[in-house]
Structure 1
Amino acid sequence: MGREIKKIDPHPDYPPEKGRYLRGNDYSPVAVVIILNRDEDKIPPEIEELVRTGVETGAALSGTLQTPNIGIEKIICNVVANPNIRYIILSGPESEGHLTGDAFKALFKNGVDEKKRIIGTEAKHPYLYNIPMEFIVRFLDQVKLIDLQFKGTPELIRKAVWACYQEDQVEFMEYKLHDPGAYPEPPLSGKITWKFSRPWAEPDDDNERRAVKKMQEMIERLKKERKSN
């Protein structure tokens, strides 16, 4: 008899942010993000196919990402509202000019600084200042990134989603994947606030500063864990 995988209901407002995505199984451990490098009304068929493949294979959410700021903020809001999501599969091309894929991967690798700027990316305006630092910290602790950018095909996405569903650990490319169950904290719910404060301003208060420190410590811990695996 296999181990019990704990699942919980997402927040009643899930997913709080609208966007170019399809909603699938709310109890799935994985979401799929496809980088969009075209205008919204000119989405190529191959991008649409990747998005459909994600949700048809069992992803909780599957959609496109175009910008390295508000687009990422919306993903964070939607993911932390559903603790069952523990992985994000990134696929598709790069968004020239925006460098959205680079920013998204840098977020997982380096986190953000005190001004909520994603560290270590060449993307333009990679600020996440419309969401609380608490959401960013939670997002990075809740989910792991599976990087299939530039090499994602429908078949590869199917295999990646399948691997995330497994009770026992399986190897997928360089990743060791299984469904760990829901994140052990209640869902968070909130929308981007559309603040007009400058992104280069200092953190608003001590709580923000403590959240930054916590996130930086977590990033260092994750780096050490990757090296030991």
Structure 2
Amino acid sequence: MNAIGEIIGELCKAILPIPEEYFTGNPNSSIAICTLSSIDLLKKFSNSEILDDIAIVGRLLSENKGIDSIIEYVNSNQKIKTIIVCGKEVWGHKSGDSLFQLHKNGIDKNFKIINSSSPDPYLTVSESKIKYFQNNVKLVNLINETDYETILTKIRFF
């Protein structure tokens, strides 16, 4: 990440502290949910019986460290086969779009997500972990869908 990006990130943490939350459910499930920046949606999932049917639900706030975390998670929890990406896109970061671009196009020689429109889409995870993600995980695009019941209906198809 560039120096200006680091400074802005630290400033945002101080002014607008956002807890990085996730909630685990059924460790035998093959489904994960990413609510992007939608805290209310995350809380609805965390207080729901749907946790019996999904492995994990969490947010994705950044196009770099956040995506690195997802790649690491699916590599260490290889039961995950589907990630439902829903909720409001992260303004300025477009982390959801970057996740889909990574899945479709991979990274270049500088570890930049190819075709990402995010400001700092550089990853630190290995290419082999990215390949595993691309080849073994299906992404379901519900970006900007915030209606809990609509998302639950989609989950029941998996």
> Normalising TM by the smaller chain, what interval?
0.7 to 0.9
**1:147 is matched with which residue?**
141
**2:30 is matched with which residue?**
29
**Counterpart pick for 1:97 among 80, 92, 98:** 92
Mapping 1:195-214, distance limit 5 Å: none
Partners of 1:118 and 1:143 in 2: how far apart?
17
Partners of 1:64 and 1:31 in 2: how far apart?
11
Partners of 2:44 and 2:94 in 1: how far apart?
22
Query: Once the 2 structures are TM-superposed, how far is the Cα of residue 110 of structure 1 from its aligned partner?
Result: 1.4
Partners of 2:37 and 2:136 in 1: how far apart?
24
Contact persistence 2:102–2:114 (CA under 8 A): yes
Q: Deviations over 1:137-165 (max 9, x none)?
A: 1111110100011124211222222211x
Contact persistence 2:36–2:85 (CA under 8 A): yes
Query: Which is higher, the Rg of structure 1 or of structure 2?
Result: 1
Amino acid at match of 1:145: L
Q: Deviations over 1:99-140 (max 9, x none)?
A: 1112112112211112211111110110112x2111111111
Larger deviation: 84-93 or 104-113?
A: 104-113
Partners of 2:54 and 2:109 in 1: how far apart?
33
SS in structure 2 of the partner of residue 148 of structure 1: strand
Contact persistence 1:54–1:62 (CA under 8 A): no
Q: What percentage of residue pairs aligned between the two structures are identical? A: 31
SS in structure 1 of the partner of residue 154 of structure 2: helix
Q: Deviations over 1:149-198 (max 9, x none)?
A: 1124211222222211xxxxxxxxxxxxxxxxxxxxxxxxxxxxxxxxxx
The two structures, once aligned, show a CA RMSD in angstroms of 1.9
Amino acid at match of 2:147: T
Contact persistence 2:41–2:87 (CA under 8 A): no
Amino acid at match of 1:119: I
Gaps (5+ residues) in structure 1?
A: 1-18, 38-42, 165-229
Mapping 1:165-204, distance limit 5 Å: none
**Counterpart pick for 1:157 among 142, 147, 151:** 151
Amino acid at match of 1:95: V
Matched, 1:113 2:108: yes
Higher helix share: 2
**1:4 is matched with which residue?**
none
Partners of 1:55 and 1:75 in 2: how far apart?
20
How many residue pairs align between the two structures? 139
**2:15 is matched with which residue?**
none
Query: Once the 2 structures are TM-superposed, how far is the Cα of residue 48 of structure 1 from its aligned partner?
Result: 2.1
Query: Once the 2 structures are TM-superposed, how far is the Cα of residue 51 of structure 1 from its aligned partner?
Result: 5.1
**1:211 is matched with which residue?**
none
